[in-house]
Amino acid sequence: MRKILVVEDEDAIREVVALNLRLAGYEVTEAASAEQALAVFSPSAGFDVAVLDIMLPGMNGFSLCETIRRDSASIGIIMLSAKTLETDKIKGLSIGADDYMTKPFSVSELLARVEALVRRVGRQGASSAAPEPDGRMVSGVFVLDQKSRVLYKNGTPIDLTQVEFQIMELFFANPGVALVREKILEGVWGENYFGDVKIVDVNIRRLRMKIEDEPSAPKHILTVWGYGYRWNA
């Protein structure tokens, strides 16, 4: 059974979300604060997705997201907030969240997004490219190890979130091909994803910070203006 962590200080919201997730077949752990969440969370706890409110007492959701992401690259993270500012959405995605929803939200939409993340987390790097027999995909000085879920550049390991890893798999499978943002969104988040295509741009920005020598002048993940991105090994 898939495990979901729900962190929300408003009892009514947390209980409704948890109830609907349980009815959908998930095992749910509830926490009313970041501190309670960290008391039950660990990489070995086996959570597939964490649903985090931003406005929490004590440690806020942004800090909680960063802490969880440092400990686990594979967990899916959805952030909830009453804030509608674009800067808050970008901040949440930039620090490691996979998705962002503003309150009030539809429980059915939240369930759909959780389901999409669970599928993505469990997909274990399925790719249209044929990997090497040892589970590696090679592109120039980069090696994508599908067993360890680690990207290597000139032999140096670069830890990626699952979303970042799947974007790199898509690039490796389509070298030199201009990929429209919507194709990246569909390939990584699924064709029924409800969210904003800007989530692609935020993750590309994070990837450039990790793999480019000069992120402001990228040589590998190139922008195709008005269209999307192209991988250049």
Q: What is the pLDDT of residues 183-195, one digit of tens each?
A: 898 888 777 676 7
Question: Within the chain, how many helices (H) and strands (E) appear?
Answer: 8, 12
Q: How far apart are CA 184 and CA 14, in angstroms?
A: 32
Q: What length does the chain have?
A: 233
For 15-49, write each residue's pLDDT tens digit.
999 999 999 999 999 999 999 999 999 988 999 99
pTM attached to this predicted model: 0.71
Backbone angles phi, psi at 31, to 5 degrees: -145, 140
Per-residue pLDDT band for 14 (boundaries 50, 70, 90) equals very high
**CATH hierarchy code of domain 136-231:** 1.10.10.10
Between 3.20.20.80, 3.40.50.970, 3.40.50.2300, 3.90.550.10, what CATH number should domain 3-122 receive? 3.40.50.2300
Give me the mean pLDDT over the 130-148 stretch.
77
Instruction: Output b/e per residue, 58-84; b: 16+ Cβ within 10 A.
Output: eeebbebbebbbeebbebbbbbbbebe
pLDDT at 148: 80
Structural tokens at position 92: 């949440």
Domain chopping of the chain, boundaries: 3-122, 136-231
pLDDT at 38: 96
